[in-house]
Amino acid sequence: MTWKPRNRSLIEKFEEEALSPFAQLSSESAGRKHSEPSHPFRTVYQRDRARIIHSKAFRRLEYKTQVFLNGTGDHLRTRLTHTIEVSSVSRTIATALGVNQDLTEAIALAHDLGHPPFGHSGEKKLNELMVDHGGFEHNKQSLRTVELLENLYPNFDGLNLSYEVLEGIMKHSKGFNRPSFKNKIEETFKNPSIEAQIANLADEITYYAHDLDDGLDFNLINEDQLIELDLWQRCVNFVDTNYKNLKGKRRRAYIIRNLLDFQVADIIKASTQHISEHALDSSDQVRRSSARLIRNSKEINQSSIQLKRFLYENLYNHKEVAQPNKKGGEIISSVFELFIKNPSLLGETTSKRISEDGLHRTVCDYIAGMTDRYIIEEFDELMKS
């Protein structure tokens, strides 16, 4: 047999033969807003993944807050490290369920591109400032980023991502409208693809497991507070039973690893059982389902809710987290008002969008794209002038 490299057609054929019947095949994509010729060696979702990774918005995630203000600790997570972790967990689940890994990963990599500086406090502050101008929500801003604000290509604004990746970014939307394209009819779905559902839940479990890790690492919470948490105690018992000599940070790191692994395994098991109860023979049947198919078991879901409540009560509202982020919100508010009063400060390129998008939305877009350190520098400079 003569060896030859795998081109796009061979990769698509492999997907058709190897993936589950309810997976979203690359060859069945609903396409892009702006028509482009196919790539000889990459599928549509592999191209999407590359476009996201090469975007400026993706690079800026390195200097945006996850929970702790960027720069407060060398080992604390940022939006970028969180995004990479979500991508890794998403691929694991997608592989186990036999669905499209490339699509799942592309959605995971894009899911936080619209996050502003200073994490959720920054998002809350921008929403307050934009309350009379359409509000602000980071998932919608992620869509604006990939559809409009990134400018890498000569013939269109945005990244021109496939419908399926855009569908995955709109994870909190109540309806997913797909335009007609080739063999796809225009249709509104109750749910997104199974790949989008995987990225969504992977984001959630990764977020809370690793925030817990950072909180412990930063000494804002301690293990004595975690005794009542079911998920934590399950993993502690496993580690202490099987690795009796593990101590200190090494022991804790392995507990966190098992905390994530345990939830991933539960998602795969519970989702497999739920999927098997439905006769799914296409990706669109997933979209037409009355409920989402990717889920934890009821027992572990309750334990996850318990962990989430603990983190809100003891970490996210801790003064060492809340005070710097509150200050970040005040910086956003000050810079926002200065730009509204003096639009010329936005620069020529950004100012061109005012006539089409309005002053407030243009300022909001500009600030949402800033990193923590950049808006602090901008604030300091503006206060001097």
Query: What gap in Å lies between CA 155 and CA 157, rounded to an integer?
Result: 7
Please give the mean pLDDT across all residues of the chain. 92
Query: What gap in Å lies between CA 233 and CA 179, rounded to an integer?
Result: 48
pLDDT band at 72 (very low <50, low <70, confident <90, very high): low
The answer on pLDDT for 58 being more than 90 is yes
Closest CA to 22 of 297, 253, 326, 285: 285
- Looking at residue 5, its pLDDT comes to 84
Beta-carbon neighbour count of residue 320 at 10 Å? 15
Instruction: List the domain boundaries for the chain.
Output: 41-384
Query: For the chain, what is the radius of gyration of the CA atoms?
Result: 22
The answer on pLDDT for 23 being more than 70 is yes
pLDDT tens string 131-169? 999 999 999 999 999 999 998 888 899 999 999 999 999
Angle formed at CA 130 by CA 127 and CA 132, multiple of 5 degrees: 125
The answer on pLDDT for 172 being more than 80 is no
Residue the block writes with tokens 């060398």: 74
The answer on pLDDT for 240 being more than 90 is yes
Query: What gap in Å lies between CA 62 and CA 82, rounded to an integer?
Result: 10
pLDDT band at 76 (very low <50, low <70, confident <90, very high): confident
Here the tokens at position 13 are 């054929």
pLDDT band at 170 (very low <50, low <70, confident <90, very high): confident
Architecture of the domain delimited by 41-384 = Orthogonal Bundle (1.10)
The contacts found for 71-80 with CB under 8 angstroms, 24 or more apart, are 71/372, 71/373, 72/324, 73/214, 73/217, 73/218, 75/217, 76/214, 76/217, 76/218, 77/210, 77/211, 77/214, 79/112, 79/115
Angle formed at CA 123 by CA 118 and CA 124, multiple of 5 degrees: 110
